[in-house]
Structure 1
Amino acid sequence: MLRSKLKTIILALSVTMMAISLISFPQESVDASIRGLNMWWEIVFPSLLPFFIVSEMLIGFGVVRFIGVLLEPLMRPLFKVPGVGGFVWAMGMASGFPAGAKLTARLRQEGQISKTEAERLVSFTNCSNPLFIFGAVSVGFFHNAKLGVILALAHYLGNITVGLLMRFYGRKEETTNENKQRKPSIRYALSVLHRTRINDNRPIGKLLGDAVMSSIRTLLMIGGFIILFSVINKLLYHLGITTFLAGGLEIILSAFNLPIELSTPFISGIFEITLGSQMTSQVQEATLMHQAIITSFVLAFSGFSVQAQVASILAQTDIDFKPFFIARILQGFFAAIYAALLWNPVYERFYNTEQPSNAVPVAFFGEGSWMHKWFLIMSDAGPLITIFALLCYTFLLARRLGR
């Protein structure tokens, strides 16, 4: 009872302090809100919407169950999750935060995975997509496309390592029937696909409408969290809280021979990955390797902003958030370690050359590459896509409410 009352007082004081801060720093709050809105408006919404809609339709048509049957021999021994986890993992890597959480929650609601399997799956299927790592961070912040190779390797190797560790999570509570698993085959997978589509029993138009509505609702929620944490991060900086926390972090950074100037960007990255990565790239006192280590941790930890989005999605199910949070801490350390270990054998050996070599596959990611051009196109056309999608959502919602 005392613990509950104390929690209530802390939450009330925190919200009151935030309200006072908004009044005290109105211009800074507006600037931070606009920054978060632009990020959601131009990049997040148009890049995630197609993945969310297609994923919903793939689940409804039974394609995910089809893939799950075929991937069962791979995902079950490695990560102790059903084969459908392979689909969630691939979509999470392709579309980025928080697609893995949304798809995991959807599969849990469908009953395709157990609670323990869902908690394992969500812990390693949420990650940054290559477009963000190479386009926004490497090219946009560091102006160094080659750095994206190290960041991506550290990030995805950290993901895999967390997945392999989380296979041991919940083994005592889990009751498995792995011995009764049927040997996968194309014929059986097609049979499962057909049964899933028949059981869903929704017309294509209804399925598409539900996919659009569900996806846009989720993206509106994500936009709210991005704007909120952008403002919180800015207010913490102006209140001196970020500097205070950074002072305590300087001791830890010194122990690892990292420049203490990286403490403030690190704290900012703990709350919001984009701002943390940008601030890290601007620290002149740190070497590029030190910046890569801190950025790798920030990308893997994913920030409280993304974690709040995931918590909101998981709250719609019985999936516990705590394993996801612990996995983010583990992945942060693993990604930082991988970045340090791979720096000399990969970056210094193959990429840190005075003259660019044609053997280095930077054209795939660098300035002028198709991925960089795609990033610029999304920045220009993103608002139009967002407006069109919101108009469609308004139209569909009005039709449903009018019935």
Structure 2
Amino acid sequence: MNYLLYLIILIMFYKIYRNLKLYKLKNLIYSLIFIVLIVLIVLNPKNSIDAALRGIDIWFFTVLPSLLPFFIISEITIKLGIVNFIGNLLSPLMKPLFNVPGEGAFVFAMSVTSGYPVGAKLISKLRMENKISQIEAQRLASFASTSGPLFIIGAVAIGMFHNESLGFLLALSHYMGAITVGLIFRFFKYESIISDSKKNYKKDLKHSYKYLLKDKDIGSIMSNAVNDAMNTILIIGGFIIFYSVVIESLNSFNIIPHILKLLKYMDIYIEENIVKGFLFGMIEITNGAKILSESSNNNSLFVFVLLSIIIGWSGLSIHSQALSFFSKIDINNKLYMLSKLMHGIFSGIFTIIFYNPIMSSALKVFNYNMNLNKQDIYFKGFFDNLYISFKIILFILFLLIISSIISSILYSIYKLTLKKTIKKDLIK
């Protein structure tokens, strides 16, 4: 009887599709989805409220203290001209590798250290201020939107799987996957290299240095930075809460048993928590990772590969956050989604490659106590995340400045050596 009902619904959708234009069909589907969500929330108010509270818990005690310092300091460094100056110094390094300007190094470093959706936020900011072109923004978005090590190692590996070695496996696979996608996307609209190469390195560096020394209203810059950061954090919080409720609503449909039946019919036997974790992880990674950790085979390569894929893909929740920033600029959202799918696939492949070398050796770096009470975990975790976040961003700025100086010196030596070689050839 149920299958007959599903067949009738499919026929109805097919009829609607035949009689409506594509954009009208999209609007109708979105409307139906949200109507169904509202009905499910009304029918299951307690479950929806509990899911929303879990979302608030994740946002306030983990996301807010971890990301707020990055948003504030990154806004200030952009407005002061520090990012532009560092970017010009690092241009000789980023151009050959990823075919993006030096500012891309700052975006990638911030994304790697702080996680989603800092990379998307910074790309949007640089594009709106016309510091990067549309093509450069597209290339940058393909690899500079990553998860942070605090989430991968701390939250997932240690907090959920209680396995530090897994943290290094996932982190290495994740960042290698991002770099691989970046190297592929460097050939996106490759002909633009010709026009980009005409830029004068010394002239741009001199201009950015002058702007760095220029007098600025630091009070106004700091005020706007805090205001923008708080608005961004609130948007992220809204998406986290919304998708927590969406997952709870989908769970009430009992989709997983139907998928398991279909797999069983195909002679494929997979544990329920693995299917559920992967499916929900494609929507929201935290919930998906947590469910995968509760499976009886949570220490298998198969589960680790699925976990790596959903972290690389990042989930619809993160995509919604990223697209809320990209909607303000002229980036191709479909290409961005494709790059994240590629990121997930490559992360899974690297997990298989690195599994034996990493998991065979015991890696113990962090000391953690699993016997803390809930209140201590909340408040200690909140201030620890805030403190660690500030330390990381200051350390990464220091590293970027040092590496940019070294890059500039090496580039100058290279140019000088090249000039001498040309002179010798002309004399000959």
Question: Structure 2 counterpart of 1:61, which letter?
Answer: L
**1:194 aligns to 2:210 (yes or no):** yes
Question: 2:314 aligns to what?
Answer: 302
Shift of 1:179: 3.4
> Do structure 1's residue 220 and structure 2's residue 234 form an aligned pair?
yes
1:232 is aligned to 246
Matched residue, 1:167: 186
Q: Deviations over 1:249-282 (max 9, x none)?
A: 789995xx97675211100100110011111111
| Distance 1:76-1:244 versus aligned 2 partners, 3 A rule | farther
- Are 2:199 and 1:181 equivalent residues in the alignment? yes
Partners of 2:305 and 2:173 lie apart in 1 by 9
Q: Is 1:324 paired with 2:332?
A: no
Match of 1:95 among 101, 114, 127: 114
1:76 equivalenced with 2:95 (yes/no): yes
Question: For 1:203-214, what aligned pairs fall within 5 Å after superposition?
Answer: 203-214=217-228
Q: Is residue 2:58 matched to residue 1:56?
A: no
Aligned position for 2:169: 150
Contact 1:225 1:309 in 2 (8 A): yes
Corresponding letter in the other structure for 1:194:
K
CA positional deviation for 1:286: 5.0
AA partner of residue 63 (structure 2): V
Change over 3 Å in CA distance of 1:266–1:143 after alignment to 2: same
Partner SS for 2:54: helix
Q: Contact conserved, 1:150 with 1:343, CA < 8 A, in 2?
A: yes
Q: Secondary structure of 1:180's match?
A: coil
Match for residue 138 of structure 1?
A: 157
Structure 2 length normalisation: TM-score?
0.78
- Which residue of 2 is the match for residue 397 of structure 1? none
Match of 1:86 in 2: 105
In structure 2, the residue matched to 1:346 is 358
Tell me by how many angstroms 1:285 deviates: 3.5
- CA shift, 1:144, in A, is 1.2
Kept in 2, the 8 Å contact 1:135–1:375? The answer is no
> Which sits farther off after the overlay, 136-145 or 259-268?
259-268
- Identical-residue share of aligned pairs (%): 36
Deviation at 1:38, TM superposition (A): 0.5
Q: Give the alignment's Cα RMSD to 1 decimal.
A: 2.8
- Which residues of 2 match residues 30-45 of structure 1 at below 5 A? 30-45=49-64
Could you tell me how far apart the structure 2 residues matched to 1:125 and 1:224 are? 23
Alpha-carbon displacement from aligned partner over 1:190-214 (angstroms, at most 9, x marks no partner): 641322564xx75100000010111
Deviations 1:296-352 (A, max 9, x none): 11111111000000011111112221121101110111111111111112212x22x
Give the distance between the partners of 1:244 and 1:323, measured in 2 at CA: 32
Pair 1:311 & 2:323 matched: yes
Paired residues, what number?
A: 363
Partner of 2:12: none
Q: Write the distance in 2 (CA, Å) between the matches of 1:45 and 1:191.
A: 36
Distance in 2 between the 1:11 and 1:375 partners? Answer: 39
More moved, 188-197 vs 281-290:
188-197
Question: Would you say 1:29 and 2:56 are equivalent positions?
Answer: no
Deviation at 1:291, TM superposition (A): 2.0
Contact 2:115 2:145 in 1 (8 A): yes
| Partner residue, 2:381 | 379
In 1, Cα distance between equivalents of 2:35 and 2:328:
27
Residue 62 of structure 2 corresponds to residue 46 of structure 1: no
Matched with 1:367 is 368
Rate the CA distance shift 1:106–1:73 in 2: closer, same or farther, 3 A: same
Distance change in 2, residues 1:48/1:243 (3 Å): farther
Q: What SS is found at the alignment partner of 1:53? A: helix
Separation in 1, partners of 2:233, 2:368: 29
Q: Displacement of 1:383 after TM fit?
A: 11
Q: Is the 8 A contact 1:96 1:127 kept in 2?
A: yes
**Distance between the aligned counterparts of 1:101 and 1:210, measured in 2?**
19
Q: 1:97 to 1:286 in 2, by over 3 A?
A: closer
1:145, CA displacement in angstroms?
A: 1.5
Output the TM-score relative to the length of structure 1. 0.83
> In the alignment, does 2:86 pair up with 1:67?
yes
Partners of 1:252 and 1:171 in 2: how far apart?
44
User: 1:117 deviation in Å?
Assistant: 0.7
Q: 1 CA distance for matches of 2:196 and 2:286?
A: 42
Tell me the CA shift for residue 128 of structure 1. Answer: 1.2
The AA in structure 1 aligned to 2:276 is T
CA distance in 2, matches of 1:36, 1:239: 20
Relative to structure 1, the CA distance from residue 239 to residue 70 in structure 2 (aligned partners, 3 Å threshold; closer, same or farther) is: same
Matches within 5 A, 1:282-301: 282-301=294-313
